[in-house]
Amino acid sequence: MEEKVQSLDEAIKDHVKNGDSVVMGACLEPMIPFAAAHELVRQQKEKLNVIAPISDILFDMLIGAGAVQKVTAAWAGNVSAGLGHNYRRSVEKGVPFPIEIEDHSNFSIGLALLAGAMGVPFLPTRSLLGTNLLDSNPHLQTQEYEGEKLVFVPAITPDVAILGVQRADKEGNAHLWGNLGIAQDAAMASKKIILLAEEIVESHEIDSDPNRILVPGFKVSSVVSCPGFAHPSPVQGYYRRDHEFFHSYHKETKTREGYLSWLDQYVLGMNSHKEYLQKVGRERLENLQIKEEKLAAPVNYSAE
């Protein structure tokens, strides 16, 4: 099978175009591909439709950098502190410019991506009945089926899914464990997949546990070896959430000027993710590393 390993800058340059719809943050709070978001900003990608249930500060950062035209999400902000300042400035004041919002619940955006993965135009639900999401999102339609009122959630088929995994082989087969969120549905619904991996391993290691494979390798467009890609969010088994980094971001980005200073310090002033990690600091990263092991019980895949 074709090897798909690229550097981060190559993957973003080759597979994300201006105006694309891009899933980032499909596992909710863990595994958020911040390294890819930084590279999107450095390459001055623009007019993106960013899609996720929760992306923590990733969407807020991209909005402030002027990379976003539309947000399709359940929530955009800072889980530790509230709504993101850039998100509010854009929606309330049009700074740096207005963005379009497509409101969802965590469940409905999962349904939309599942519909996209299944190749069907919509999936029905009862859960949105009685909510004001039906007013704020005109794409959600109430219909009757055999006398029962249902909400039809249209499919979402993103141009690109940028997903994080613990390990992948060079052909795009990858293991993801912990909170999967809607990562698998997002991957199968998307036209392209970029995987950011903590480790690149030999294929036999992936093959040893086929039930842990996120998506078939032939669906994957690019594999990036990118240790620490999710900082400041956590990666199960590798490092914890950097709570203080999130708190500092919220404080420093209260004003437009403060945000631009933060962006220059952590993104535009860096040439690569490796430089970003050096900026964060070796001691800080080491303190976040997982020290204990909590291993799953072994399984026997033998059929003989």
Average pLDDT over residues 191-208: 98
User: Which residue do the tokens 């999102």 mark?
Assistant: 137
Peptide bond connecting 33 to the previous residue in cis, omega within 30 degrees of 0: no
pLDDT at 106: 94
The whole-number pLDDT of residue 79 equals 86
| Chain segment 139-172, per-residue pLDDT in tens | 999 999 999 999 999 999 999 999 999 999 999 9
Q: What is the DSSP letter of 16?
A: -
Which spans in the chain are helix H?
Answer: 8-15, 34-42, 58-64, 85-93, 106-118, 133-136, 183-189, 203-207, 243-252, 256-263, 273-280, 282-288
What pLDDT, on a 0 to 100 scale, did the predictor assign at position 304?
87
* Sign of the torsion formed by the C-alpha atoms of 88, 90, 92 and 93: positive
> In the chain, helix, strand, coil percent, each to 5?
35, 25, 40
The predicted pLDDT at position 54 comes to 87
pLDDT, mean of residues 45-72: 97
Considering the segment(s) 8-108+158-288 as one domain, its CATH architecture is 3-Layer(aba) Sandwich (3.40)
**What secondary structure does DSSP assign to 183-202, as a single string?**
HHHHHHHSSEEEEEEEEE--
Q: Each residue of 73-103: pLDDT tens digit?
A: 998 989 888 899 999 999 999 999 999 999 9
The pLDDT assigned to 2 comes to: 86
Give CATH 3.40.1080.10 domain extents, the chain: 8-108+158-288
Mean pLDDT of the chain: 96
- Give the whole-angstrom CA distance, residue 25 versus residue 36: 11
Q: Tell me the average pLDDT across 61-76.
A: 96
Q: By the 8 A CB rule, do 48 and 72 touch?
A: no
pLDDT tens by residue, 255-304: 999 999 999 999 999 999 999 999 999 999 999 999 999 999 999 999 88
Residues 273 and 228 sit within 8 Å (Cβ to Cβ): yes
**Which pTM was predicted?**
0.97
Amino acid identity, position 61: M
Spatial distance between the Cα atoms of 23 and 190, rounded to a whole number of angstroms: 8
